[in-house]
Structure 1
Amino acid sequence: MSALPEDFLQFMRDVYGTEAANAWLQRLPSFLEECAERWQLTILPPFENLSLHYVAPAVRADGTPVILKTCEFSDEFEHGLAALRLFNGRGIARLLEYDEEQKVMLLERLQPGTMLESLVPEQDERATSILAGIMRQLWRPAPTEHTFPTVEQLGQGLTQLRAHYAGGYGPFPPRLVDEAMDLFAILSASVPQTMLLHGDLHHHNVLRSGDTWLAIDPKGVVGDPGYEVGASFYNPMPRLLEVPNLEQMLARRVAQLSEELGMERARIRGWGLAQCVRNAWSMVANNQLSKDPHGIILRCADILSHLTV
């Protein structure tokens, strides 16, 4: 087994605790050998930008390129697997094999696999249209019974921000936090139809597959489909730093997504702002500030808060 990226090792220890993470990492080589034997795989070195899961390319005995993904800790695996089964390859990479108990799956490997971020900023309008098209393919009515996290539950995470700062706001602008909390409540209460969503659809989670583009790595979230647009407003990082007129780009994204998804501009803008603030707080809560050292996410939130729609 190839050496794991040091950033991944430290991230796992920070999130799950040193003892638990080290124990899992020690078991990982033998577990991968079992997977290789079970599914007739040659497992290649893992990807470098790992976070909550071990993800590596592999090749099946018949030459089929695949992706192996595993992690025994995160609930995200369970929810992501359930979402992949329901999406069933429509607008997203296909699920080929899985073992829910062992928390491991094999996925279609998209080729050439170019990330959608490669189109930004020069072809941002095209990239936004691709995102909207994938959203329309993915969304479906939420199952009557499910264990997916809901948009309302995710929004409640902002109350932890206030608790973390003893009722204050810390480095966060109070105006943006209050508006984001209000938006989560208001938009969730007025949802026209609750849908199963990808939950983290942005420019790094859409890859080129032949002559089309497909999503990867769904979180599996249930709620207002408008929530899905949020992640696209603070991505792709760090390429947004290269945009000469970010205000103009975000305003055009609001207008374009409203047109292509048939949603009110105010709803698109609102979910964009709410998700920017929530994601910025999530980075603080999970010790991931290094992902946004320039504070671009809160800058996007501020731009959206002043946008007239």
Structure 2
Amino acid sequence: MATAPIEPPQRLVSALGGDPEGPVRAWLAALPELVQQRLDSWELTLDRVHAPGGSSSLVAFVRQQDGTPAALKFPVPGRAAAQEAAALRVWDGWGAVRLLRSDEASGALLLERLQGSVSLRSLPEAKALLEAAGTVRRLWVAPPAGHPFATVAERVAADAERLRAAGDSAGAGPLVDEALELGRSLPAGAAEEFVLHGAFRQGKVLAGERAPWLAVGPAPLVGERAYDLARLVLDRFEDLLAGSGAAAVARRRVAKLADSLDVDRERLRDWTLYRAVRAGVRESVSGDRRRGESLLEFAAYV
């Protein structure tokens, strides 16, 4: 039982509190009560709320009735929360954090506790990429029958109109045109489909006790591996751009990751360009124009 009021971290409040009348704002206001209800129902003892935490979920460090540490997560309500639980069930701890319990009504997930402050980003870049490749390889499993996950093709199609409109605002016309064409052609050419993490990067891989490194926070999809790996190519892109010979280094990174995981180099290059343009346009439109321009610069290099 908690002995002190439960307060959502300020980062979460700042990220979600912009619409005072919206359902997400209502969820945010009800969050302390929702957390307390899960603590009581699952007989958990609150250690502390993780801070500064993330911008799309609240995570509380708790202890189960037998004293075993765990993490209680409340993602922002919606389809994504249910799909995260479904993906964790598919992996069942293989390469990813283990799901201990879930509550469909509140979206709460009880997870094994990892070292939240220690991610692959704490390692030197070469070592981090090696460990990340070994982790993501474990996640690529055949999609189960009747799975609830969207496909990469569906995700790309849903993003197309927004990407086109936002690209005009960001002044990234030629790159956006290339990305849109790749979004139309790449899904049809995929030879195999796997369950993908969907948002895999170094910061999504945390240190654990059961295994050295385990993935967290999936946004699962079904599609080809190159789509997942493309997000990893973008990791620490700012450091790459700051060095000399950025274009050659970017291409070497694509080749190295593709070869280490037996992924087609050209398809990885194409998906990297697509995801870099998509992220760059989104950042530019949302207000971080400098980061957006850097992502578009990276896209032009691969």
Query: CA 1:149/1:45 → structure 2, altered by over 3 Å: closer, same or farther?
Result: same
Equivalent residue of 2:89, what SS?
helix
Does 1:158 find its partner at 2:156? no
Q: Between the two proteins, what is the percent identity of the paired residues?
A: 30
- Residue of structure 1 equivalent to 2:103: 99
Equivalent residue of 1:114, what SS?
strand
Equivalent residue of 1:192, what SS?
coil
TM-score between the two structures when normalised by the length of structure 1: 0.86
- Residue of structure 2 equivalent to 1:189: 188
TM-score between the two structures when normalised by the length of structure 2: 0.87
- Residue of structure 2 equivalent to 1:274: 274
- Cα drift, residue 212 of structure 1: 1.8
Distance 1:240 1:96 in 2: 39
Count of residue pairs brought into register by the alignment: 295
The amino acid across from 1:28 in the alignment is L
- Cα drift, residue 193 of structure 1: 0.8
Distance 1:192 1:242 in 2: 36
Distance 1:62 1:172 in 2: 57
Does 1:218 find its partner at 2:221? no
String of CA shifts for 1:60-107, please: whole Å, max 9, x gaps.
233322111113523210111110000111001111111122211111
- Residue of structure 1 equivalent to 2:172: 173
- Residue of structure 2 equivalent to 1:36: 39
Query: CA 1:13/1:111 → structure 2, altered by over 3 Å: closer, same or farther?
Result: closer
Tell me if the contact between 2:225 and 2:263 (Cα under 8 Å) persists in the aligned partners. Answer: no
What are structure 2's unaligned runs of at least 5 residues? Answer: none
Distance 2:276 2:295 in 1: 6
Greater shift in the superposed pair: 240-249 or 44-53? 240-249
Distance 1:183 1:72 in 2: 31
Greater shift in the superposed pair: 275-284 or 72-81? 275-284
Does 1:201 find its partner at 2:200? yes
Does 1:89 find its partner at 2:125? no
Greater shift in the superposed pair: 1-10 or 170-179? 1-10
- Residue of structure 2 equivalent to 1:307: none
Query: CA 1:159/1:240 → structure 2, altered by over 3 Å: closer, same or farther?
Result: same
Query: CA 1:103/1:284 → structure 2, altered by over 3 Å: closer, same or farther?
Result: farther
Does 1:46 find its partner at 2:44? no
- Residue of structure 1 equivalent to 2:265: 265
- Residue of structure 1 equivalent to 2:133: 132
- Residue of structure 1 equivalent to 2:234: 234
Distance 1:178 1:203 in 2: 29
String of CA shifts for 1:196-223, please: whole Å, max 9, x gaps.
1111100110112246211111111111
Greater shift in the superposed pair: 47-56 or 194-203? 47-56
